[in-house]
């Protein structure tokens, strides 16, 4: 729809990691973690990014906020290409873009109090004096469902779900516009996952946040996302509205991926047909020519092994990169 404003536009993003082999190898090969990926994120929406381990979904997220330096491509944030910005130029954008990490145990400094953890980004960006920052910490703690007195405690005194709340409070401290949540609930228990997801939804509505939600739990991604992108071996293979993607998956890989979700309903699980994929994901160091999924795809033709399919709109904003849908 045209009334939606674009917050981030990613064009031809590439991130290669060098692999050094041997002692004197001067020309290293590269892991093509993200290889020519383009998509947009609209203001106020949640874009889900799914795929299996090694597909590049986490690298994509981290490259967008420039935790990794992109190898090539544009990252247009609110009209400005930040892809080539240096650290100093990035500072104002660092405030606008925040991140929630997967592991609530590893992402909080055990030697800092919760109050210090949450106020640190405020102090770094020089947004307030100490007293005002403390008040903000109290406000944030209440906002994420913790008590004001928790500010003086240390991370080890909290459970996984509570720690994830602390991580969210820290991300919110500098009033960001855009939050990347990288597997924010996969380390939590089922009953706690729902608490955190509901809170993320409430915060989005109240604070007009935009999310990039990276996860491998496909049912939770469908629940939280407006649109979903499916990645395979460094490429975006399909991108569509979440209901559309789940009801009408076009790409053979998406079809296999969705059929593999375990359904929490014994009758449906018994009647469901599963597309079991043969083989494994090829190495991203020397990815196959043409469509990267061709080797495991039962519809693959000669063309698929030769020509890389482009991500194309096949109607209603449903994008797919597959030769089956060539006109």
Partner 1 sequence: MEKEKLLEIRNLKTSFYTHVGEVKAVGGVSIDLNKGEAIGIVGESGSGKSITMMSLMGLLSENGKIIDGEIIFEGRDLAKLSEEEMQKIRGNEIGMIFQDPMTSLNPVLTIGDQLMEPLIKHKKMSKKEAWDRAVQMLSLVGIPSPESRMKQYPHEFSGGMRQRVMIAMALACEPKLLIADEPTTALDVTIQAQILELMKELKDKINTSIILITHDLGVVADVCDRINVMYGGLVAETGSTRDIFYRPKHPYTWGLLKSIPNPKKDEKERLKPIEGQPPDLLKPPVGCPFADRCEYAMKICMQQRPPLFEVGEGHKAACWLNHPDAPKVEPPVGRGETNE
**Interface contacts to partner 1, rule CB under 8 A:** 52-53, 159-161, 189-195, 197-198, 201, 216, 218-220, 222-223, 243, 246-247, 256-269, 274, 276-277, 280
Q: Which two tokens stand for residue 15?
A: 């991130």
Q: Which is nearer to partner 1, 13 or 277 (CB)?
A: 277
At 87 the three-state DSSP class reads helix
Q: How far is the CB of 179 from partner 1 (least distance, A)?
A: 19
Q: How far is the CB of 190 from partner 1 (least distance, A)?
A: 5
Instruction: Identify whether the C-beta of residue 136 lies closer than 8 Å to the C-beta of residue 128.
Output: yes
Q: Which is nearer to partner 1, 276 or 327 (CB)?
A: 276
Q: Which is nearer to partner 1, 9 or 217 (CB)?
A: 217
Q: Which is nearer to partner 1, 77 or 232 (CB)?
A: 232
Q: How far is the CB of 51 from partner 1 (least distance, A)?
A: 9
In Å, how far from its chain's centre is CA 125?
25
Q: How far is the CB of 195 from partner 1 (least distance, A)?
A: 4
Q: Buried (b) or exposed (e) across 170-187, using 16+ Cβ within 10 A?
A: bbbbbebbbbbbbbbbeb
Q: How far is the CB of 212 from partner 1 (least distance, A)?
A: 19
Q: Which two tokens stand for residue 285?
A: 């160091």
Q: Which is nearer to partner 1, 109 or 186 (CB)?
A: 186
Q: What angle do CA 172, 53, 198 make, to 5 degrees?
A: 35
Q: Which two tokens stand for residue 266?
A: 């014994």
CA 85 to CA 92: how far, in whole Å?
11
Instruction: Identify whether the C-beta of residue 184 lies closer than 8 Å to the C-beta of residue 46.
Output: no
The DSSP bridge partners found for residue 266 are none
Q: Which is nearer to partner 1, 50 or 172 (CB)?
A: 50
C-alpha torsion sign, points 271, 275, 278, 280: negative
DSSP, residue by residue, 255-304: HHHHHTSPPS-HHHHHHPPP-PPPS-PPPSSSPPSS-TTGGG-TT--HHH
Q: How far is the CB of 271 from partner 1 (least distance, A)?
A: 11
Q: Which is nearer to partner 1, 22 or 266 (CB)?
A: 266
The DSSP bridge partners found for residue 97 are 178
Q: How far is the CB of 313 from partner 1 (least distance, A)?
A: 22
Q: Which is nearer to partner 1, 85 or 105 (CB)?
A: 105
Q: How far is the CB of 165 from partner 1 (least distance, A)?
A: 12
At 226 the three-state DSSP class reads coil
Q: What angle do CA 255, 258, 261 make, to 5 degrees?
A: 150
């Amino acid at each position: 729809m045209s009334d939606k404003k674009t917050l981030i536009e990613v064009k031809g993003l590439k991130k290669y990691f060098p692999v050094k082999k041997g002692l004197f190898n001067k020309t290293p090969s590269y892991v093509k973690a993200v290889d020519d990926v383009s998509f947009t994120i609209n203001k106020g929406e949640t874009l889900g990014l799914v795929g299996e381990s090694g597909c590049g979904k986490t690298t994509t997220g981290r490259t967008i906020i420039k935790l990794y330096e992109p190898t090539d491509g544009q990252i247009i944030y609110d009209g400005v290409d930040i892809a080539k910005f240096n650290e100093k130029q990035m500072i104002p954008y660092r405030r606008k873009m925040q991140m929630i990490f997967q592991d609530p145990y590893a992402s909080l400094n055990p030697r800092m109090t919760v109050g210090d953890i949450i106020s640190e980004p405020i102090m770094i960006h020089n947004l307030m004096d100490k007293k005002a920052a403390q008040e903000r910490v109290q406000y944030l703690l209440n906002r994420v469902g913790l008590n004001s007195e928790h500010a003086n405690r240390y991370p080890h005194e909290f459970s996984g779900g509570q720690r994830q709340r602390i991580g969210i409070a820290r991300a919110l401290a500098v009033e960001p516009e855009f939050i990347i949540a990288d597997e924010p609930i996969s380390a939590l228990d089922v009953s706690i996952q729902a608490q955190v997801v509901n809170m993320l939804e409430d915060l989005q509505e109240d604070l007009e946040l935009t999310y990039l939600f990276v996860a491998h739990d496909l049912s939770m991604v469908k629940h939280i996302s407006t649109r979903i992108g499916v990645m395979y071996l460094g490429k975006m293979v399909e991108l569509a509205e979440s209901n559309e993607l789940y009801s009408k998956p076009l790409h053979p890989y998406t079809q296999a991926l969705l059929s593999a979700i375990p359904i929490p309903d014994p009758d449906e699980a018994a009647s469901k047909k599963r597309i079991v994929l043969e083989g494994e994901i090829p190495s991203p160091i020397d990815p196959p020519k043409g469509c990267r999924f061709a080797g495991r795809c039962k519809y693959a033709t000669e063309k698929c092994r030769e020509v890389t399919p482009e991500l194309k709109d096949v109607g209603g904003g449903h994008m797919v990169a597959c030769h089956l849908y060539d006109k």
